[in-house]
Structure 1
Amino acid sequence: MNPVQPAQPAVRGGGWLRREEAIMGTSVSVELWSDDRAAGEAAIAAVMADMQRIDWTMSPVKASSELSRINREAATQPVALSNELYGLLERALYFSQLSDGAFDITFASAGQLYDYREQRAPTEAELATARAAIGWQQLLLDPQHRTVRFGHPGMRIDLGGFAKGHAVDRAAAILRGHGIRHAVVAAGGDSYVLGDRRGRPWNIAVRDPRRPDQVVAVLPLEDVAMSTSGDYERFFERNGERFHHVIDPKTGRSAHGLRSVTILAEDGLTSEGLSKSVFVKGLAEGMRLVESQEGVDAIVIDAEGVLHYSSGLLGAAPQSGNPGRQ
């Protein structure tokens, strides 16, 4: 997700500020307007600090994170959770139920077996063992004691983009608390557009999954969350098959049939949860899910590179490009 306009120059002491940092294994950026430069810098610093905090809490690779502790201990005993993480697990289970299991953070039971840098995929035997541990119904929450327990010894969870959706939601709230009314915050494929661009919408680009320097659509947006899931960020190809990080929980393999899914919704948890759900469910079932949700829209690019818009975007006539059929 990228704003396609350049930052505007300062006017009457106010101005556009932008900062980008590497957090949560991805690029995190904030662009905002502030009438006071120092106040704007303080708002950006508060957002980046909270992003770092979320990363230290929810990282699946940092051994000291709360999520890593869950993965180490929850198969043998209930693990007490912070209110924040307990709430996120509740929301994750909500989207699992809504999507009939297409969204499932226990996918990590198989997802952990892939190494995209080393181009390693699990064997059939490894996948068979891992699939037995996948299943959101086996992620057992105790609302009275605020604990989680795994119903299978091989289970692992990974919030992935869901944590980033949460992070951009929190970032928008932090910016509002600092008096910021015009901003875009992005964490990887998840973003939140706060207000407009001082009298006009933010024009937000959706990239071409096969040509990273090209865009397939430009959407005029304000006050909305946007998440994109695709087969092009972390992947490798072997014998004509693309192995990517969006895992179908039912198979433990990369989901196929779509190149990317972009969801617009009121909050980042919804946009992220549905972008993964639609990608796994495929075009027909995924679009039916989108159309059943109030205030949700989608742009889906299928395996042939054809764009499909939900009904709420057809009338908006977004500017679009021609995605590559590669």
Structure 2
Amino acid sequence: MSSSFGFEAIGTSWRVDSGRALPAAQRSELLRLAEDYDALYSRFRADSGITRLATIGGSLPLPPHGDALGRLLRSLHELTDGAVSPLIGERLAEQGYDAAYSFVPTTTPSPARVWDDLLDWTAGTVTVREPALLDVGAAGKGQLVDLMLEYLVAEGHDDVIVDASGDMRRSGPGSITVGLEHPFDPSLAIGTLDLGTGALCASASNRRVWGDGLHHVIDARTGRCVDTVVATWVLGADAMTADGLCTALFFADPAVLSRSFDFDYVLMYSDGRARYSDPLPGALFS
């Protein structure tokens, strides 16, 4: 592609590749989208909306895209029997993945608080009945990928990829081949997937590790880190859904999730076994 724009946002590296150059105004709009999303949902910022809910409780007005995020999180919450929950933010912070990045657990693991007891997520508002720290990391980065891609397509870009450190969405002719990073050795790939117009997202428990058995994929039912699945990849129509399904696959059987969503996947377990959808639009290496 003839144009590439890299930047840092929401704590990770981003890259936008396009068949034609991005004018300065479009680059500025991408940065604004990221800043607005971070100011709303970041649990690492003292001035964010999410932090205000954690401090005083109450309600937080949401932009139009907040409804889609809430509905997806609720659906994944139900399909995983409560393992996926935005209320996991408190448990992540207690285990050391807090706003200060202390990486020091302050308590033993415990279940997250119950969604129906505390949280209401409606079309225009998220409300907590008492102060609570939310975390939308299960699908939030994917949604921001979608917002950026959809903006660029509306601006006339017909061959473009938005890549947020492995969570990506593409719009354009043909397909590209994407390698699947080995969770135990980043210099290796376990296979490849073909990405046409759509999204490919990935999640791995080795990406954010700060202690023996401590990482960012926590089961809200127990407060403990997952130790069976180590990496997931999902191909889907949009990045928000693919990102959310990557998280859900750490807890739920793909057959259960496929009753509600149309997607392709690869799973890798801690013992090195792999499981994948059939037929797979790609290949796994032996």
Q: Secondary structure at the match of 1:71?
A: helix
Q: What is the deviation of 1:231?
A: 0.9
Match in the other structure for 2:150: 173
Q: Kindly tell me the number of residue pairs found equivalent between the two proteins.
A: 282
User: Does the alignment pair 1:299 with 2:266?
Assistant: yes
Query: Given that residues 72 and 241 in structure 2 are in contact (C-alpha distance below 8 angstroms), is that contact kept between their aligned partners in structure 1?
Result: no
Q: Secondary structure at the match of 2:94?
A: coil
Q: Secondary structure at the match of 1:308?
A: strand
Match in the other structure for 1:265: 236
Q: What is the deviation of 1:296?
A: 0.8
Name the aligned partner's letter for residue 105 of structure 2.
Answer: A
User: Does the alignment pair 1:216 with 2:190?
Assistant: yes
What is the percentage of aligned positions where both structures have the same residue?
A: 22
Query: Given that residues 55 and 131 in structure 2 are in contact (C-alpha distance below 8 angstroms), is that contact kept between their aligned partners in structure 1?
Result: no
1:138 counterpart (92, 114, 117):
117
Give deviations 1:225-254, integer Å, cap 9, x for gaps.
22211111110343xxx2110111011111
Moved more, 257-266 or 90-99: 90-99
Give deviations 1:120-155, integer Å, cap 9, x for gaps.
23433xx34xx3x522223432749x443334x563
Paired with 1:119 and 1:57, the residues of 2 have a C-alpha distance of: 24
Q: Please, what is the CA RMSD of the aligned residues? A: 2.3
Structure 1 residues 159 and 294, CA, compared in 2 at 3 Å: closer, same or farther? Answer: closer
Q: What is the deviation of 1:44?
A: 3.9
The 5 A counterparts of 1:1-326 are 7=1, 16-34=2-20, 37=21, 39=23, 42-74=25-57, 78-84=58-64, 86-87=66-67, 88-115=69-96, 118-124=102-108, 127-128=109-110, 131=111, 133-141=112-120, 143=122, 146-151=124-129, 153=130, 155-196=132-173, 200-238=174-212, 242-279=213-250, 281=251, 285-313=252-280, 316=281, 318-322=282-286
Name the aligned partner's letter for residue 141 of structure 1.
Answer: D
Larger radius of gyration: 1
Give deviations 1:174-207, integer Å, cap 9, x for gaps.
11111111111122342112123xxx41111211
Higher percent of residues as helix: 1
Name the aligned partner's letter for residue 308 of structure 1.
Answer: R
Name the aligned partner's letter for residue 150 of structure 1.
Answer: V
Name the aligned partner's letter for residue 205 of structure 2.
Answer: D
Query: Given that residues 206 and 217 in structure 1 are in contact (C-alpha distance below 8 angstroms), is that contact kept between their aligned partners in structure 2?
Result: yes
Structure 1 residues 171 and 251, CA, compared in 2 at 3 Å: closer, same or farther? Answer: same
Q: What is the deviation of 1:223?
A: 1.3
Name the aligned partner's letter for residue 120 of structure 1.
Answer: V
Query: Given that residues 103 and 273 in structure 1 are in contact (C-alpha distance below 8 angstroms), is that contact kept between their aligned partners in structure 2?
Result: no
Name the aligned partner's letter for residue 127 of structure 2.
Answer: R
Q: TM-score, normalised by structure 2?
A: 0.89
Query: Given that residues 109 and 154 in structure 1 are in contact (C-alpha distance below 8 angstroms), is that contact kept between their aligned partners in structure 2?
Result: no
Structure 1 residues 182 and 299, CA, compared in 2 at 3 Å: closer, same or farther? Answer: same
Match in the other structure for 1:13: none
Q: Secondary structure at the match of 1:57?
A: helix
Query: Given that residues 53 and 132 in structure 2 are in contact (C-alpha distance below 8 angstroms), is that contact kept between their aligned partners in structure 1?
Result: no
Structure 1 residues 311 and 294, CA, compared in 2 at 3 Å: closer, same or farther? Answer: farther
Q: Secondary structure at the match of 2:96?
A: coil
Paired with 1:52 and 1:184, the residues of 2 have a C-alpha distance of: 20
Give deviations 1:232-278, integer Å, cap 9, x for gaps.
1110343xxx2110111011111110110111111122111111111
Name the aligned partner's letter for residue 60 of structure 1.
Answer: R
Query: Given that residues 73 and 79 in structure 1 are in contact (C-alpha distance below 8 angstroms), is that contact kept between their aligned partners in structure 2?
Result: no
Q: TM-score, normalised by structure 1?
A: 0.78
Q: What is the deviation of 1:68?
A: 1.4
| Structure 2 runs not aligned, ≥5 long | none
Name the aligned partner's letter for residue 102 of structure 1.
Answer: A
Query: Given that residues 206 and 215 in structure 1 are in contact (C-alpha distance below 8 angstroms), is that contact kept between their aligned partners in structure 2?
Result: yes
Name the aligned partner's letter for residue 71 of structure 1.
Answer: A
Moved more, 110-119 or 135-144: 135-144
Q: What is the deviation of 1:219?
A: 1.3
Paired with 1:42 and 1:307, the residues of 2 have a C-alpha distance of: 44
Q: What is the deviation of 1:302?
A: 0.9
Q: Secondary structure at the match of 1:134?
A: coil
Name the aligned partner's letter for residue 121 of structure 1.
Answer: P
Structure 1 residues 93 and 303, CA, compared in 2 at 3 Å: closer, same or farther? Answer: same
